[in-house]
Structure 1
Amino acid sequence: MLLLPFKFTIDSLIILFKAPGQLFAIAKNESLRKNHALEHATVNILEKKYGYSNLSGLAEENGFYINGVINPKDVKVAAQEGLLRLQQGERNLVVHKQCGTSLTVANLVSAVVFILLLLLTGVFSLLNMLLAIIIANFIGPQLGVWVQKNYTTSYQVDNMEINGVQLRQDSQTMLGINVPKKVFVRTSELVWK
């Protein structure tokens, strides 16, 4: 228990050096931001329209993954609907409450607060650690949504199209239960001449 603040300090320093670079790498890549937005739109639709839960995704420059689905056809329909709705101006679809961006931002806030408290007080303490976590829990979610909207997603997807949906990991049946699938949605940007 006494070593916990020291571990938290080391973790905080790692986050301080690593997280800003990760966020900046996404922010400067427009294709990645667009696919991240479409990934969120797809997950939001899958959850609301099809009742999925515990989905995760990962955006890449040429598309995005959706993990945890049972029927890949649902992903195709949700991705097409998400793209159309984004093109029609539904900006709220670019935000997802369980996005890794929000977690990264919350961890960054916690790390900054903890290091500041450490520098101001000069004391490694559980109290400083808990205070940093509490502040991060209040500020992190709102700041994470703001970062998603403004830096890690782009709702400007007018020139995007969906080129196909590919099953990357088939479901398995274990003890009579379907293990969810991993699906890749390939996208591209239309070139206007």
Structure 2
Amino acid sequence: MTNSVNPATGNLWDLDWYRPQHQQDSDTLEQLGFIPGLKEILMLRQVHGLEHGTVWVLSETRHGLQDNENLGGLSTPNGFYLYGEVNHLDLQKAVTKALQRFRAGVWNLAVHPRCGTNMSVNMLLITSFALGTHFLLPKGPIEQALGLLLATSTASQLSPDLGILAQKYLTTAIPFNLELGQIARTRDFSGHPAYFVELAWRDS
């Protein structure tokens, strides 16, 4: 895990041209609510951010925030699944604490190094660079093998930071409009045991 995605080491939004506003999604929905599926997209981004924040809070130790690889999540427009060994009450407290921290300005919690967004960005970069080197380099096997190696290593170097940017601006949002509903032990779409954290939209 790099320091740039650890909520304990600063704010990703410091000196940024864009800073989240409490009313932004409510205003967007008020102006463009006629667009089909817009509310679901806005809510999914906020749920995704809260999912990350909850995992961070559950991973907190006396040494600060540390990534706990035994925990994971999956977001939906109605809430998120939480995987891993966790107590129901601890999960409820973690969701509440994450919401409080988000509203206090601890926005780094929305970004997580093990997010599927990072893997998607990595795969996209590898594919793009591999195709680029395939067409640009000579067709000999040695040149093509070197090109593939270069494409893979370059993508691996770039994808963590680009994945963070993709999370920050595209796939997550600060959960200003979410409130906690029920938390229930259940199974996900694939039959895996998990908690489902139900969330509801509220106008900020």
**TM-score bin (small chain):** 0.7 to 0.9
Give aligned pairs, total. 156
**Deviation of the 1:122 alpha carbon:** 4.9
**Deviation of the 1:164 alpha carbon:** 1.6
Length-normalised TM-score, structure 1:
0.74
What SS does the corresponding residue of 2:158 show, helix, strand or coil? Answer: helix
**Deviation of the 1:191 alpha carbon:** 4.2
Letter in 2 for 1:160: L
Partner Cα separation in structure 2 for residue 145 and residue 37 of structure 1: 12
* Structure 1 gap segments, 5+ residues each: 1-24, 170-179
What SS does the corresponding residue of 2:84 show, helix, strand or coil? Answer: strand
**Deviation of the 1:127 alpha carbon:** 1.8
Partner Cα separation in structure 1 for residue 42 and residue 54 of structure 2: 18
Change (3 A) 1:135 1:76: same
| Per-residue CA distance 1:138-165 (angstroms, 9 max, x = gap) | 100000001101110001x222100021
Structure with the largest fraction of helix: 1
What SS does the corresponding residue of 2:60 show, helix, strand or coil? Answer: helix
Partner Cα separation in structure 1 for residue 113 and residue 48 of structure 2: 13
The aligned counterpart of 1:158 is 176
Length-normalised TM-score, structure 2:
0.70
Partner Cα separation in structure 1 for residue 58 and residue 193 of structure 2: 14
Q: How do residues 14-163 of structure 1 correspond to structure 2 at under 5 angstroms?
A: 29-49=41-61, 52-123=68-139, 125-155=144-174, 157-163=175-181
Percent same amino acid at aligned positions? 32
| Per-residue CA distance 1:43-70 (angstroms, 9 max, x = gap) | 1111124974321111100101111123
**Deviation of the 1:181 alpha carbon:** 5.2
What SS does the corresponding residue of 1:108 show, helix, strand or coil? Answer: helix
Contact 1:69 1:181 in 2 (8 A): no
* Structure 2 gap segments, 5+ residues each: 1-36
Partner Cα separation in structure 2 for residue 151 and residue 113 of structure 1: 22
What SS does the corresponding residue of 1:128 show, helix, strand or coil? Answer: helix
| Per-residue CA distance 1:49-102 (angstroms, 9 max, x = gap) | 497432111110010111112322221111111111111111100000100001
CA RMSD of aligned residues (A): 2.4
The aligned counterpart of 1:18 is none
Partner Cα separation in structure 2 for residue 73 and residue 57 of structure 1: 17
Partner Cα separation in structure 1 for residue 58 and residue 118 of structure 2: 20
